[in-house]
Amino acid sequence: MGYVMSTSVVFPGQGSQFVGMGKDLYESNAHVKKRFDQANEVLGIDLKDILFNGPDEVLKQTEFTQPAIFLHSIALAETLSDVNASMTAGHSLGEFTALTYAGVLSFEDAIQVIRRRGQLMQEAGLKNPGAMAAVIGIDDEKVVEICAQASSKTTFVVIPANFNSPGQIVISGHDEAVDEALVLLKDAGCKIAKKLPVSGAFHSPLMEPALKGLKEALDKAQFNTAKFPVYSNFTAAPSVDADVLKNNVIEQLLSPVKWTQIMLAMANDGATEFVEIGPGKVLQGLVKRTVTNVEIKGFQ
């Protein structure tokens, strides 16, 4: 019996966007063109124009960033017939792309939910102002511990929001608690601890105002059994069950993205190749820093 490659397909989240994304694909690929035009029709906005022409300040707004990255990623993924996924996952917003790729959500349902999620998260960021900070070069457990210390000291909330790769975490919460955590992290010998230019404390309890609206949007969407396992940000575990996958994207809003744990779980479950589909190369870098002896490639 020959060696069978097991392929994990992964999709990027916010932060990978750039003005002009998808323009070449749109002009050269009939399927991509169809999807981009369809997105405009379904959403009733000129999303395509924002992707191609920006300006950057508009593309960077969460309510546009999220559907833009999804659209670019899924339209491209649908054209790659020689990629045979055995499993999939996506980082934060990318989890919705993974669900669409695995046949759990239709394109129309997904893009509407994602636009609504972006709007709700943007509104929650205004209602509950907060911050996020990148933390590099310190043990993951130590970051968890320091966040708990900073929270109890300030009586505000700060939690690890993204476990991106070992020793690379993003923390999220109230400004006061994040600032306190940054002081404690530097005292503990952390190499880099700096705030990120984001419009809210994503993946933390501060996103609570977005929860009801997200549930309502998801209730309007139809969830199907996945064609292959989808690894969820909330649990880092695979599932094909429609109800489980739906619950996981609800929980994801207020909970950490367990990306490190997802990559390790996939490798443990036999993934020998990781393929990132969508703008940027962020996830390829994270895979490189987390798992060994796997092939890594990307399609942009």
Where do we find the tokens 């394109």? 107
**Which whole-number Å values give the CA distances from 43 to 101, 116, 119, in the listed order?**
20, 10, 13
Instruction: Return d(Cα 152, Cα 286) in angstroms, integer.
Output: 31
Q: Is residue 72 annotated as part of the catalytic site, yes or no?
A: no
Q: Given pLDDT bands bounded at 50, 70 and 90, which one contains residue 2? A: very low
Distance CA 201, CA 54 (A): 24
What confidence tier does 5 reach under pLDDT thresholds 50, 70, 90? confident
Q: Which of 92, 165, 239, 255 is catalytic?
A: 92
Catalytic residue among 16, 72, 203, 204: 203
- For 47-93, write each residue's pLDDT tens digit: 999 999 999 999 999 999 999 999 999 999 999 999 999 999 999 99
* 31 catalytic residue (yes or no): no
Q: Which contiguous run of DSSP H or E holds residue 260?
A: helix 259-268
Closest of 55, 65, 45 to residue 278, by C-alpha:
65
pLDDT tens-digit map of 126-165: 999 999 999 999 999 999 999 999 999 999 999 999 999 9
Q: Given this model, what pLDDT does residue 3 score?
A: 52
- Average predicted confidence (pLDDT) for the chain: 96
pLDDT of residue 1: 42
Q: Would you state the torsion angle of the CA atoms of residues 287, 288, 291, 292, taken in this order, to the nearest 10 degrees?
A: 150
- 190: tokens are 């952390």
**pLDDT-derived band at 15, boundaries 50, 70, 90:** confident
Task: Kindly tell me if the per-residue pLDDT of 235 is higher than 60.
Answer: yes
If one compares 300 and 106, the residue with the highest pLDDT of the two is 106
User: Helix or strand or coil: residue 227?
Assistant: coil
Mean pLDDT of 196-225: 96
Domains and CATH numbers, the chain: 7-126+206-299 (3.40.366.10), 130-199 (3.30.70.250)
Rounded mean pLDDT, 21-50: 96
